[in-house]
Structure 1
């Protein structure tokens, strides 16, 4: 129940939007999985490393942590996780692919649904948090998977989301001799 409440109203909700270098955040998250490097090869294809998005850093880190955790867990023995990052036009893409067990075609549409899981020990809330966070940041998420081959999550963010971070263009006119208080009231 706590997981459901977390997704519906995250405790990080009051976190402010900041400039985020997604490449740096992905690199830092990979350090949390150092104990898996002996069995899973990590391939990083980071282009446009200096590009930034605006968002709630901790919410996004939690979402990408969940995606990486799922990718590692989907690989039963040895395999490869590929992480791509690039800019194309007005969009930043982050792609996480694994060579894991994959998701059955008939269950692919259910990913992100609360309480749906393909894991014996899962709660079904990890991907719900991922989808929720990506959508709250004006992004999109696309999933492709084949059983026995692996899964690919493609996340797309707009590079310009000023409306979502509260920037408003006000048409204020200064009148000479007007006080500061009168100017803003």
Structure 2
């Protein structure tokens, strides 16, 4: 069965075909980190923030809204687009818990492949690569763009602000 056929017949709320790929997750985590602190300059993201990436990027509803939200709009406007669908935001926490092992595997791959590094004393994450790999697949392009926007949006806020806006606990 062709990949596009598989995707169109699949339950979009689970996106199982995506969550089984920690290598893709590693690229998405790296893109988030690079967007948060380009060239590892300035304020760096802390490890708990990385657990946000896959639950948001792998959820089609969230990804579609992120793709349509300007990078300059910020996380508050992104979250505000779910006023009538609050359960989507409340679902991020449970998806974070369900995807914890995948997120850890993705972070591990990103570390071992030299995409990111971690300061074990501060739990700050640095990007070690500045250029994104090329992708022909539109879904992957949208995922990478969503991870990038999420990184930009999170760098403008404190960790407690991110948690309050997205209704999560890290």
Same fold? TM cut 0.5: no
Normalising by structure 2, report the TM-score: 0.30
When you count strand as a share of all residues, which structure comes out higher? 1
Structure with the bigger percentage of helix: 2
Larger radius of gyration: 1
